[in-house]
Copies of this chain bind each other. A is one copy, B any other.
Amino acid sequence: MFRHVPINQVEIWDPFFSARIAKARETAIPYMWDTLHDAVPGVAPSHCIENFRIAAGLAKGDFQGFCFQDSDLWKWLEGVGYALSVQSDEALEQQADSTIDLAAMAQQEDGYLDTYYIIKGLDQRFTNLKDIHELYVAGHMFEAACAYYQATGKRKVLDVACRFADCLCKHFGPGENQLHGYPGHEEVEMGLTRLYAVTGEKKYLDLALYFLNERGQKPYYYDKERLARGEKLHEKRENFWDDYGYYQADVPVREQTAARGHAVRQLYLLAGMAEAGTAAGDDILVEAAERVFRNVIDKQMYITGGVGSTHVGEAFSFDYDLPPDRCYTETCASIALIMTAIRLHRAHPHGLYGDIVEKALYNGILSGVSLDGMKYFYMNPLETWPERCERRNDIRIDDERKGWFGCACCPPNVLRTLMGLSMYLFTENDTHLYIDQYVSSHVRSGETELKIQSAFPYWGNKVTIHVERAGEKELALRIPGWAKKNYVLEINGEEVEHDPWNQYEYVNNLKDGDVITLTFPVMEVRKIRAHGHIPEYAGKVALMMGPVVYCLEEKDNGNELWNLSLTDGLVTPVLAQEELEGVMMLQAEGIRDCGGDSLYSEEEPKQEKQTLIFVPYYAWGNRGKGEMRVWIRRT
């Protein structure tokens, strides 16, 4: 069985990621701690910790915030767990312990722990699984508990989690006196499976599988709980949230074929299916997840790894509906995409999954965070026109990153992803070590120890793997899809013939001191076309170099970016000297159409040559407000 290499066995010192991780550690963790405690002036109070204090009897007041407000704390704690796995920090650990103490005080006799119902009335708990996210919150708590326990060895939060999980096991299941329901927002399936992996308690895995298998069975549980609350069933399903497809709950999960509904839910479901299915040896469940995942990446994914084509329901829409300026492409959804990809990879290793992780990491996820690590995009569009963002009511995208959100799901999600980055880099089992991403690091898998030097995504074309201790493992080295056959594999300076299998080159019989190098065409700029089914990209290209998607910004190219087109000439990488922290820009010859003053006329626009400057998509929006676009017309 494949698993990620434990976080504390990986040390990252990467030119691209290390600074981001350090910023997250040094600024995002304390900043989020402060927001959770309502201590950031100018940011609307989260009330998250206050809810716990009220639930614990330490304060008086009403519950405030979203019904899933607790999850902000748990996501923070999960990120802290990963941070402490790599580097100890006594003060931070004390902060974390204090919140765990608080949560333990809020926990009920029977193990229940969700401040929403503890404050609002426990008699209502489990009566609205569809809309009130107590199982979703539980899932985040289980993940946080596992992460923190694994980091610190302290059992307290794990015990809290197990008590809550036991409570769920008592209330949910096939028994006559149990509830036969499942969460409206998936997440707990992953959390329970992880809790099973850490504790060995099989009933947690069973409950995860129970939730998955019940989902979408008829008669619908959501109808039953609705009737049980004394409400009528919908005659017509007029709103997106009346349609159980929005919750991936209209059809049993094993029969689902395409991504539908709320994007994060859909992908958390797939990740849960992959993780629980793998743990249980349930191939059919894993294959069902693979099938829907293929639909996402083949037909419903933006070139940036963004997913969710509509803000209405933060949702998938339909195949090839990928408008650049009306997408939702929530940062969290791209994170959910790589959570799914890496779990499917662990089920059936294939370089394709690493391609998706790489694409989302270097584009649609990091675009969610400003270069200084302090501001966030909730949505990651591929095209913005600030005036339209501000003045059209049917456009819901922000044209500037914000410090925090009322629904603060993305910032802590980015935090836990960066802090737990190594889980996306290395996959191991008892015989193999997969290097899934080329990030400069030191890794230990069993007796095998490697030092990896990389200047990805674009500062160097060579990856060097120093075998510090050979151990027993066979190495598997991912060949990114964009490298095609244009790579060179050398072992101790000798070129080795290509022999990839599922996009991995395998290297065995390692010896201490071996040096393996991979040379990739990282500086080759590619002009990418989109599928002909997508209206918006007809006649246009997007530029990519390695995994990095590029975009035009007003700052470098003037406004009305839509009037620019790309000529057939060379595109040249140019290292930015000062701006944008040394990113690799691209420079190309282009043309600007300059029209007249009439709204409509027969006049041919004058065409002027213009040098176009492209910046990496992940780095856009760091120099003030302005237009941006990824897809550009070609002449």
Contact between B318 and A601, CB atoms less than 8 A apart: no
A578 in contact (CB, < 8 A): no
Q: A240-B393, A311-B394, A539-B593 are in contact. Are A598 and B321 (CB under 8 A)?
A: no
In the bound complex, CA of A412 to CA of B240 (Å): 33
Residue of B311, B532, B595 near A532 (CB, 8 A) is B595
CB-CB nearest in chain B for A313: B393
Q: Which residues of B contact A297 (CB under 8 A)?
A: 599
Contact between B394 and A603, CB atoms less than 8 A apart: no
Contact between B303 and A391, CB atoms less than 8 A apart: no
Contact between A526 and B599, CB atoms less than 8 A apart: no
CB-CB nearest in chain B for A303: B600
In the bound complex, CA of A593 to CA of B604 (Å): 24
Residue of B298, B392, B529, B605 near A602 (CB, 8 A) is B529
Contact between B601 and A528, CB atoms less than 8 A apart: yes
Contact between B528 and A602, CB atoms less than 8 A apart: yes
Q: Which residues of B contact A596 (CB under 8 A)?
A: 531
A409 in contact (CB, < 8 A): no
Q: Mark A540-583, 1 if CB is under 8 A from B, else 0.
A: 00100000000000000000101101000000000000000000
In the bound complex, CA of A532 to CA of B559 (Å): 11
Contact between A599 and B531, CB atoms less than 8 A apart: yes
Q: Which residues of B contact A598 (CB under 8 A)?
A: 531
Contact between A391 and B563, CB atoms less than 8 A apart: no
Residue of B392, B530, B560, B593 near A321 (CB, 8 A) is B392
The interface size bin for chain A is 35 or more
In the bound complex, CA of A600 to CA of B298 (Å): 9
Residue of B311, B560, B604 near A533 (CB, 8 A) is B560
CB-CB nearest in chain B for A297: B599
Interface residues of A in 380-418 (CB under 8 A from B): 385, 387-388, 391-394
Q: Which residues of B contact A375 (CB under 8 A)?
A: none
Contact between B392 and A600, CB atoms less than 8 A apart: no
Contact between A603 and B633, CB atoms less than 8 A apart: no
Contact between A299 and B393, CB atoms less than 8 A apart: no
Return A603 CB to nearest CB of chain B, in Å: 6
CB-CB nearest in chain B for A312: B393
Return A193 CB to nearest CB of chain B, in Å: 30
Contact between A299 and B599, CB atoms less than 8 A apart: yes
Q: A317-B391, A318-B387, A321-B388 are in contact. Are A530 and B602 (CB under 8 A)?
A: no
Return A121 CB to nearest CB of chain B, in Å: 30
Interface residues of A in 509-532 (CB under 8 A from B): 526-532
Return A486 CB to nearest CB of chain B, in Å: 12
A538 in contact (CB, < 8 A): yes
Q: A528-B600, A532-B605, A598-B531 are in contact. Are A593 and B310 (CB under 8 A)?
A: no
Return A352 CB to nearest CB of chain B, in Å: 13
Q: A299-B599, A535-B562, A599-B299 are in contact. Are A317 and B529 (CB under 8 A)?
A: no
In the bound complex, CA of A538 to CA of B566 (Å): 13
A483 in contact (CB, < 8 A): no
Most buried by B among A594, A598, A600: A600
Q: Which residues of B contact A529 (CB under 8 A)?
A: 595, 600-605
A301 in contact (CB, < 8 A): yes
In the bound complex, CA of A598 to CA of B299 (Å): 9
Q: Mark A618-635, 1 if CB is under 8 A from B, else 0.
A: 000000000000000100
Return A615 CB to nearest CB of chain B, in Å: 20
A326 in contact (CB, < 8 A): yes
Return A554 CB to nearest CB of chain B, in Å: 13
In the bound complex, CA of A515 to CA of B110 (Å): 100
Most buried by B among A298, A391, A526, A597: A391
Q: Which residues of B contact A309 (CB under 8 A)?
A: 392
In the bound complex, CA of A190 to CA of B82 (Å): 71
In the bound complex, CA of A540 to CA of B195 (Å): 57
Q: 16 other contacts beyond A321-B391, A542-B600, with CB at 8 A cut-off?
A: A299-B599, A303-B600, A311-B394, A318-B387, A326-B394, A394-B394, A526-B602, A529-B595, A529-B605, A531-B596, A531-B598, A531-B599, A533-B560, A538-B562, A539-B565, A539-B593
Interchain residue pairs with CB less than 8 A apart (12):
A240-B393, A309-B392, A312-B393, A318-B387, A321-B388, A321-B392, A526-B602, A528-B602, A529-B602, A531-B595, A532-B593, A535-B562
